[in-house]
């Protein structure tokens, strides 16, 4: 059977999942598009696959097709897709919800690697979904151990965010926190030194030692960190810049700091 109508109840639900954060929260699911990303979905989290007949015939030997799948017409797939040039495969995936307590309990490492010093990113009010996804991808590449986000950050399960993570969403522990200053205080009590990326930083970022437990506070793209968040830091650090640039993109600033920590730890 091939779904050929956009009024099909399943297709209506896909559209709701694509457009509405509250629907993703209600169902505990989100959408992933594209073969490369779908290959990375843990099997136990895959709820449903939707594919065009042409795509299925071309890739039917893929292990992912051992799971249940639904065929949809090319026209319907174009309707439900969030991309300009859809590949022809989309998945509904279960969310993996970490709590702040789980993140903190795993310090100084995670996945049983207690000898690995914490390397945590704490994000305040990051609004752009692409920025947030890029930060996740970069955090994984730089060896970060977890990400904490204030509740007013963009929805991590937004389709644009998911695409930007390039699969890191399935491997990077993360949690939203209702109390970012409180979370920073709890990190400090665990012996983790908290640094805030700030234009008023007393020291440049490469003057500090990040070989022990470290957390970086990164603020909103336009306004930076709030005074309340910046006050939580042990040290304000700045990234020196030339020319007339006043600040860096939040994802770029995160990358500079995380890879400096990674470099020192090597």
pLDDT over 50 (residue 112)? no
Q: Of 94, 122, 152, which residue sits at a domain end?
A: 94
160 and 81 Cβ atoms separated by less than 8 Å: no
pLDDT recorded at residue 218: 96
Pairing of strands 119-123, 2-3: unpaired
Element housing 26 (H / E): helix 21-27
E-strand ranges in the chain read: 2-3, 29-33, 46-52, 69-72, 89-94, 119-123, 146-150, 174-177, 193-197, 203-204, 214-218, 235-238
Q: Of 59, 79, 94, which residue sits at a domain end?
A: 94
250 and 218 Cβ atoms separated by less than 8 Å: yes
Residues 106 and 79 in one domain: no
Range 163-185 average pLDDT: 95
pTM comes to 0.91
Residue 81 structural domain: 2-94
Range 206-223 average pLDDT: 94
What are the tens digits of pLDDT across the range 52-62?
A: 999 999 999 99
Residues 52 and 126 in one domain: no
What are the tens digits of pLDDT across the range 125-160?
A: 999 999 999 999 999 999 999 999 999 999 999 999
Question: Residue 115 — very low, low, confident or very high, per pLDDT cuts 50/70/90?
Answer: low
SS3 204: strand
Residues 40 and 170 in one domain: no
Residues 77 and 166 in one domain: no
Question: Residue 109 — very low, low, confident or very high, per pLDDT cuts 50/70/90?
Answer: very low
Q: How far apart are CA 66 and CA 87, in angstroms?
A: 19
Tokens at residue 137, please? 């991808």
């Amino acid at each position: 059977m091939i779904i050929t109508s956009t009024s099909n109840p399943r297709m209506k639900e896909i559209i709701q999942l694509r457009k509405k954060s509250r629907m993703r929260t209600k169902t505990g699911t989100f959408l992933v598009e594209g073969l490369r990303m779908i290959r990375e979905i843990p099997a136990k989290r895959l709820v449903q696959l939707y594919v065009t007949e042409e795509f299925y015939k071309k890739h039917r030997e893929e292990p992912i097709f051992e799971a249940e799948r639904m065929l949809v017409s090319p026209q319907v797939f174009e309707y439900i897709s969030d991309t300009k040039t859809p590949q022809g495969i989309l998945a509904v995936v279960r969310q993996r919800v970490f709590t702040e307590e789980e993140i903190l309990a795993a310090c100084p490492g995670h996945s049983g690697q207690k000898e690995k010093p914490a390397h945590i990113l704490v994000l305040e009010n990051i609004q752009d979904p692409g920025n947030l996804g890029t930060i996740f991808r970069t955090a994984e590449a730089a060896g970060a151990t977890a990400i904490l986000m204030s509740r007013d950050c963009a929805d991590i399960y937004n389709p644009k965010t998911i695409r930007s993570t390039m699969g890191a969403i399935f491997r990077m522990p993360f949690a939203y926190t209702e109390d970012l200053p409180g979370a920073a205080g709890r990190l400090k009590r665990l012996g983790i030194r908290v640094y805030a990326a700030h234009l008023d930083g007393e020291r440049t970022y490469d003057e500090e030692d990040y070989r022990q437990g470290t957390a970086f506070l990164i603020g909103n793209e336009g306004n930076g960190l709030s005074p309340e968040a910046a006050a939580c830091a042990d040290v304000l650090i700045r990234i020196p810049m030339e020319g007339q640039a006043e600040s860096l993109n939040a994802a770029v600033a995160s990358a500079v700091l995380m890879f400096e920590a990674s470099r020192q730890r090597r």
